[in-house]
Chain A
Amino acid sequence: MTVLKTSMRNFFAHKGRMALSAVAVLLSVAFVCGTLVFTDTMNTTFDKLFAVTSSDVTVLPKAAKSDDTPQNGKPESVSASVLERAKKADGVKFAEGAVSSMNVTVVNSHNKNMGSTTGAPTIAGNWTRNDLRSMEITQGHAPRGPTEVMVDADTADKHHLKMGDELRTIAVTGDFKAKIVGIATFKVTNPGAAVVYFDTATAQRELLGATGRFTQINLSAASGVSDTRLKQNVSSVLGGSGSFKIQTEKENSDENRKGVGEFMNVIKYAMLGFAGIAFLVGIFLIINTFSMLVAQRTREIGLMRAIGSSRKQVNRSVLVEALLLGFFGSILGVGAGVGLAVGLMKIMSSMGMDLSTRDLTVKATTPVVGLLLGVVVTVLAAYLPARRAGKVSPMAALRDAGTPADGKAGLVRGLIGLVLTGAGAFALYTAATADKASDGSLVLGAGVVLTLIGFVIIGPLLAGGVVRVISAVLLRMFGPVGRLAERNALRNPRRTGATGAALMIGLALVACLSVVGSSMVASATDELDKSVGADFIVQGNQRIVPQAEKAMEATPGLEHVTRYKDLEAKMTSPDGKVDDSGITAADPSYAQDLRRKTTAGELSAAYGKDAMSVGSDYAKKHGVKLGDTLTVAFKGGATAKLKVAAITDDDVAIDQGARYTSIETMKKYLPANRIPPNEIMFAKAKDGQEKQAYAALKKSMEPYPQYQVRDQTDYKQELKDQIGQLLNMVYGLLALAIVVAILGVVNTLALSVVERTREIGLMRAIGLSRRQLRRMIRLESVVIALFGALLGLGLGMSWGATAQKLLALEGLKVLDIPWPTIIGVFIGSAFVGLFAALVPAFRAGRMNVLNAIATD
Chain B
Amino acid sequence: MTSAVTIPRHGGTGGRTAVAARARQVVKAYGSGETRVVALDHIDVDIARGQFTAIMGPSGSGKSTLMHCLAGLDTVTSGQIHLDETEITGLKDKKLTQLRRDRIGFIFQAFNLLPTLNALENITLPMDIAGRKPDKGWLDQVVETVGLAGRLKHRPNQLSGGQQQRVAVARALAARPEIIFGDEPTGNLDSRAGAEVLGFLRRSVDELGQTIVMVTHDPVAASYADRVLYLADGRIVDEMYQPTADQVLDRMKDFDARGRTS
Give residues in A with beta carbon < 8 Å to B: 400, 402-403, 406, 479-481, 483-484, 487-488, 490-491, 758-759, 762-770, 772, 849-850, 853
Contacts and interface: CB of A to CB of B under 8 A. Distances in A.
B93 interface: yes
B115 A772 contact: no
Contacts of B73: 765, 849-850
A766 B116 contact: no
Contacts of A479: 128, 131
A402 B129 CA distance: 23
Top 4 A-B pairs, shortest CB-CB distance: A767-B101, A487-B116, A480-B128, A769-B97
Interface in B97-143: 97-98, 100-102, 104-106, 108, 110-112, 114-117, 121, 125-126, 128-131
A768 B117 CA distance: 15
Contacts of A768: 97, 101, 129
B187 to A, nearest CB: 13
Given A765-B73, A766-B101, A769-B98, A850 B68 contact: yes
B74 interface: yes
Given A767-B101, A767-B102, A769-B98, A762 B114 contact: yes
A100 B105 CA distance: 91
Contacts of A772: 129
A767 B93 contact: no
Contacts of B128: 479-480, 483
A534 to B, nearest CB: 67
Contact of B97 (A480, A764, A853): A764
Contacts of A849: 73
Given A766-B125, A769-B98, A770-B94, A850 B130 contact: no
Contacts of B101: 766-769
5 contacts: A480-B125, A488-B116, A762-B114, A767-B100, A767-B129
Nearest to A406: B115
A31 B126 CA distance: 49
A762 B111 contact: yes
Nearest to A766: B126
Given A759-B114, A759-B115, A762-B114, 16 more contacts: A403-B115, A480-B131, A483-B128, A484-B114, A484-B116, A487-B116, A762-B108, A762-B111, A763-B125, A766-B101, A766-B126, A767-B97, A769-B94, A769-B98, A770-B93, A853-B108
A477 to B, nearest CB: 13
B171 interface: yes
A766 B111 contact: no
Nearest to A768: B129
A209 to B, nearest CB: 84
A490 B115 CA distance: 12
Contact of A491 (B74, B106, B116): B116
Contact of A767 (B68, B98, B108): B98
Contacts of A850: 68, 73-74
Contacts of B104: 767
B65 to A, nearest CB: 9
A45 B100 CA distance: 70
Contacts of A767: 97-98, 100-102, 104, 126, 129-130
Contacts of B126: 766-767
Contacts of A770: 93-94, 97
Nearest to B116: A487
B171 A766 contact: yes
Contacts of B121: 483
B63 to A, nearest CB: 14
B114 A480 contact: no
A490 B106 CA distance: 27
Contact of A765 (B93, B94, B106): B106
A783 to B, nearest CB: 13
A487 B114 CA distance: 10
B150 to A, nearest CB: 23
Nearest to A403: B115
Contacts of B94: 769-770
Interface string B72-83: 011000000000
B116 to A, nearest CB: 4
Contacts of A490: 116
A762 B112 CA distance: 7
Contacts of B112: 762
A834 B171 CA distance: 32
Contacts of B98: 767, 769
Interface string B249-261: 0000000000000
Interface string B43-77: 00000000000000000000000001000011000
A402 B164 CA distance: 13
Contacts of A758: 111
A371 B115 CA distance: 42
Contacts of A483: 121, 128
A400 B106 CA distance: 22
A321 B41 CA distance: 48
Contact of B115 (A481, A491, A764, A766): A491
A766 B106 contact: yes
Contacts of A481: 129
Contacts of B117: 484, 487
A155 to B, nearest CB: 65
A720 to B, nearest CB: 49
Contacts of B110: 400
A766 to B, nearest CB: 5
A588 B121 CA distance: 82
A626 to B, nearest CB: 77
B100 A766 contact: yes
Nearest to B65: A850
A491 B114 CA distance: 11
Contacts of A406: 115
B104 to A, nearest CB: 8
Contacts of A769: 94, 97-98, 101, 129
* Most-contacted residue by chain B among A402, A406, A480, A484 (CB, 10 A): A480
Nearest to B102: A767
A42 B46 CA distance: 81
A167 to B, nearest CB: 73
A758 B125 CA distance: 16
A484 to B, nearest CB: 7
A769 B94 CA distance: 7
Contacts of A766: 100-101, 105-106, 125-126, 129, 171
* Most-contacted residue by chain A among B97, B102, B112, B117 (CB, 10 A): B97
A402 B130 contact: no
A771 to B, nearest CB: 8
A768 B126 CA distance: 8
A763 B102 contact: no
B124 to A, nearest CB: 9
Nearest to A759: B114
A759 B74 CA distance: 18
A447 B70 CA distance: 64
A98 to B, nearest CB: 79
A487 to B, nearest CB: 4
Contacts of B74: 850
B80 to A, nearest CB: 20
Contacts of A765: 73, 100, 106, 108
Nearest to A481: B129
A402 B116 CA distance: 13
Contacts of B102: 767
Contacts of B115: 402-403, 406, 491, 759
B163 to A, nearest CB: 15
A471 to B, nearest CB: 13
